[in-house]
Amino acid sequence: LLMAYEPAKRLAKLQVQMERAVVNARMIYEILDMQPHQREKPGATDLVVSEARIEFRGVSFAYGNNEAVLKGIDFVAEGGKTTALVGPSGAGKSTVITLIPRFYDPSAGGILIDGQNIADVTKSSLRKHIAYVSQQPYLFEGTIRDNIRYGRPEATDAEIEEAARLAYAHDFIKAQPLGYDTPVGENGVTLSGGQRQRLSIARALVRNAPILLLDEATSALDTESEAAVQKALDKAMTGRTVVVIAHRLSTIMKANKIIVMQAGTIAEEGTHDSLAQRQDGIYARLNQLQPKAAADDFI
């Protein structure tokens, strides 16, 4: 029985992974889509952003008829500040991020941006204010310039170059055979993981949205790339409301607020110092488990 069960279990797991890959791809496409053709709620108005303060109020969510993966979540991501989501795999961190551009709607509760329920505003106005940098940046067929321009189709060449400079991508782009006109994607040049990430950050910068959703990479890049990506991210995060799924201690320590998730709930929240000092706290325990040698891997 066990032998028959194992492959079935593996298959089921693969299925979930495939579904998640589809969601991630959709997330990229739709955030970039400047004219989404979705039907709006009748009477939906455009989102008006001032501070870009995000508030989750009693948010619950389940994928289809499955068990709830978020169970009455309450938190605030302050405008212009960085909020880090941490916690074990499956805790619900990615799901929290997915609800902000409305790839899914909560089954209970609501999400507010500057006091407006995102369920009541047009999706195009909502997504216009959001940029997303994923763990595995997607490159479209086309040139490097096209790939950055996906962030904002009306961006000028000068704006694209400016974003690339800020993202520490300009120098490696210039070193390509055709510079900004070098084709990438399946039929183009191969870029390293760090270069792809910097292009994706340039794409987010050219979008110039006040909200940045970030899924921090777990896989290590080479040291030089890593340093460039970190500097690029610091630029992109400055002055924006950032919600980051954080895996690195350095990111977590810099965050203005840390939300520790566990099994679809918020177990703890606070700053690194306040959480690290908490007796018997989950964060404190994780922090102590942190091997000093692999200094920057948190979870």
The candidate with the shortest Cα–Cα distance to 34, out of 130, 119, 114, is: 130
**Selected range binding ligand ATP among 62-70, 76-84, 141-149, 199-207, rule: CB under 6 A:** 62-70
Give the N- to C-terminal CA distance of the chain in Å, as an integer.
35
Q: Which is nearer to ligand ATP, 44 or 69 (CB)?
A: 69
Q: How far is the CB of 201 from ligand ATP (least distance, A)?
A: 20
Closest CA to 282 of 268, 263, 297: 268
Q: Quick one: 206 or 261, whose CB is closer to ligand ATP?
A: 261
Query: Considering CB under 6 A, how many residues would be counted as binding ligand ATP?
Result: 15
What are the structure tokens assigned to 58, written together? 């009693």
Looking at residues 73 to 102 of the shown chain, list those that interact with ligand ATP (rule: CB under 6 A): 87, 89-95
For residue 297, the 8-state DSSP code is B
Handedness of CA 138, 229, 85, 219 (dihedral sign): positive
**Among 13-21, 35-43, 181-189, 225-233, the segment contacting ligand ATP (CB under 6 A):** 13-21
Residue type, 235: K
| 105 is an interface residue for ligand ATP by CB under 6 A | no
Is 63 a binding residue for ligand ATP by CB under 6 A? The answer is yes
Q: How far is Cα 258 from Cα 237, in angstroms, rounded to an integer?
A: 16
| Site track 198-227 with ligand ATP (rule: CB under 6 A), x = hit | ------------------------------
Q: How far is the CB of 295 from ligand ATP (least distance, A)?
A: 20
Report the distance separating Cα 207 and Cα 205, nearest Å: 5
Looking at the DSSP assignment, which residues form a beta bridge with residue 127?
A: none
Following DSSP, what letter does each residue of 239-267 receive, concatenated? TSEEEEE--BHHHHHH-SEEEEEETTEEE
C-beta of 59: minimal distance to ligand ATP in Å? 12
Structure tokens at 104: 């899914």
Which one of 44, 69, 263, 284 is in contact with ligand ATP (CB under 6 A)?
Answer: 69
Per CB under 6 A, residues contacting ligand ATP are 16, 19-20, 23, 63, 66, 69, 87, 89-95
